Structure 1
Amino acid sequence: MKPTREHLTGLVLAGGRGMRMGGVDKGLQTLHGEPLAAHVLKRLAPQCGALLISANRHPDTYAALGAPFGATIVADTLPGFPGPLAGLLAGLRTARTAYVLSAPCDTPGLPADLAARLAHAMDANQADVATATTADAHGEVSLHPVFALLRTTLADDLAAFLDAGERKVRAWYARHKTVEVTFTDERAFYNINSLQELSDLERA
């Protein structure tokens, strides 16, 4: 069965340390007067039946940010900021839907058809994971592994993978049937890694 909106929980990954931004909480940095995470919530909300925010710092601030969207805050169950897979695990464990659609908090222009295209590919290929890629004018492919649609039944396997000390997103995907979906607009996946990049986008 092809996943539709009511089967999806959107997960904003905002639990990182923001090291390339000097350790600030990336999702709370503002663009055009709104926190980056709010931009992502606005893009995900029409595509998902429920929303979660993975946040390991400032939970009250994120709760206020997510309140207009009915978003619930989840935190890593593993210590030491082990990376996006820990945020995915928290989302998979918390979601009450069959699927989770994840996106990082620093991509304010994510595609409006992200869920629809990943769901179509997942259904057509009977996959467990669908993830996004882009290709430039020269055909060079860029992978965007944390833009992903995942079955929540993968939670136990992900927990075992993390318990074994593994942290690489693509290595975990390789354990499951994964389909890659190519999007044509690279700009939609532009992620902000530094305060300078944020300043540049503010002026654009």
Structure 2
Amino acid sequence: MSPAREHITGLVLAGGRGMRMGGVDKGLQMLHGEPLASHVLKRIAPQTGALVISANRHADVYTTLGAPFNAKVVADTLPGFPGPLAGLLAGLRAADTAYVLSAPCDTPGLPADLAVRLAHALDSNQADLATVTTADAQGNVSLHPVFALLRTSLADDLAAFLAAGERKVRAWYARHKTVEVAFTDERAFYNINSLQELADLDRC
């Protein structure tokens, strides 16, 4: 049986350096009058039970943003902004559910059926984690690995992987039974990587 909503903790990854935005805290940049992280929280909250925000800066601001959703704010346990896997580990450790659904803070249009589709694929394939692919008009397939539904029991293995100095998301996924789920709406997974891209989207 596919994991039910109440058995999934939603995790918003907002702990990066934001280097391609000049070092700003990406999740707090404004889009249509609201921080990017708020848009993602609103999209993911109806799909999950509890919510967690992974943030390494401005914890007080994220606590305020997460308050309407009863979201918990956690920081990486590893120093130096080591990447999304560290945020994922923090979320897995903080979750009280059997599953965690992760999404980055810079994708305000993520699909409303993300959790349901990933949960179905994970269950059907008896997988450890499920992640997302899309294809462009030419049929070129892209993997979106930070969108994932994972078993919380993977936390110890991830901790060991990071302790060994490893940082690559795909390399860690390769250690586990992973199922890739094809979504047709590539635009839903569009992530904002620059202040210019943000300004362009804000005008839409």
> Counterpart of 2:180?
180
Distance 2:115 2:141 in 1: 20
Q: Is 1:153 aligned to 2:149, yes or no? A: no
Q: 2:137 corresponds to which residue?
A: 137
CA RMSD of aligned residues (A): 0.5
Which residue number in structure 2 is paired with residue 189 of structure 1?
A: 189
Task: Tell me which residue corresponds to 2:202.
Answer: 202
Q: CA deviation at 1:24?
A: 0.2
Within the alignment, does 1:80 sit opposite 2:62 as a pair?
no
Query: CA shift at 1:137, angstroms?
Result: 1.9
C-alpha deviations, 1:95-153, integer Å up to 9, x for none? 00000000000000000000000000000000001000101122110110000000000
| Unaligned segments of structure 2, at least 5 residues | none
The secondary structure found in structure 1 opposite 2:180 is: strand
Taking the TM superposition and a 5 Å limit, the aligned residue runs for 1:34-183 are 34-183=34-183
Displacement over 3 Å in runs of 4+:
none
Query: What is the TM-score normalised by the length of structure 2?
Result: 0.99
Amino acid in the other structure paired with 2:136: D
Compute the displacement of 1:157 (Å).
0.1
Q: Secondary structure at the match of 1:27?
A: helix
State the alpha-carbon separation in 1 of the partners of residues 125 and 137 from structure 2: 27
Distance in 1 of aligned mates of 2:181 and 2:140: 14
Amino acid in the other structure paired with 1:167: R
Name the counterpart of 1:27.
27
* Separation in structure 2 between the aligned mates of residue 78 and residue 189 of structure 1, nearest angstrom: 27
Separation in 1 of the partners of 2:40 and 2:15? 14
Identity within the alignment, %:
85
Q: Deviations over 1:66-98 (max 9, x none)?
A: 000100001000000000000000000110000
- Per the normalisation by structure 1, the TM-score is 0.99
> What amino acid is the match of 1:100?
V
Unaligned runs of 5+ in 1: none
**Cα distance in structure 1, aligned partners of 2:157 and 2:19:** 28
